[in-house]
Amino acid sequence: TQLLEQSPQFLSIQEGENLTVYCNSSSVFSSLQWYRQEPGEGPVLLVTVVTGGEVKKLKRLTFQFGDARKDSSLHITAAQPGDTGLYLCARVTGNQFYFGTGTSLTVIP
């Protein structure tokens, strides 16, 4: 099993606050993906990071891949209620990808 640990498991914040969620592994990733999943729906791919130290921005979301390619973070600036959902990281290994347990984010208006 390819173990991916995500933290925190649950996060509840007020609209307008900033937050960071983390994805960690003891093994090196070849690449890593971040997804957001809303209740009753399948995960939707947000970004793929490949290079150690890489930073990608998607509007108010900033994704960083650690230099050693063992960890990644997702930072959300000025969170909005529409950001509410389950955030999942997934490591890509060959033809398979393995998911972390997720961070459940609730943004309170």
Partner 1 sequence: NAGVTQTPKFRILKIGQSMTLQCAQDMNHNYMYWYRQDPGMGLKLIYYSVGAGITDKGEVPNGYNVSRSTTEDFPLRLELAAPSQTSVYFCASSYRGYGYTFGSGTRLNVV
Residues binding partner 1: number (CB under 8 A): 23
CB-nearer residue toward partner 1: 17 or 42: 42
Residue of the chain from 12, 17, 28, 45 that contacts partner 1 (CB under 8 A) = 45
Amino acid symbol at 59: K
Distance CA 27, CA 42 (A): 27
Residues 14-43: x where in contact with partner 1 by CB under 8 A, - otherwise, as a string: -------------------x------xxxx
CB-nearer residue toward partner 1: 10 or 82: 10
Distance CA 75, CA 57 (A): 9
Phi-psi map region of 67: left, alpha, beta (phi>0 left; psi -120 to 50 alpha): alpha
* C-beta atoms surrounding 8 within 10 Å: 13
Span from 13-21, 51-59, 71-79, 85-93 in contact with partner 1 (CB under 8 A): 85-93
And the tokens for 85?
């959902």
Residue numbers of the site for partner 1 (CB under 8 A)? 1, 4, 6, 33, 40-45, 48, 88, 90, 92, 95-102, 104
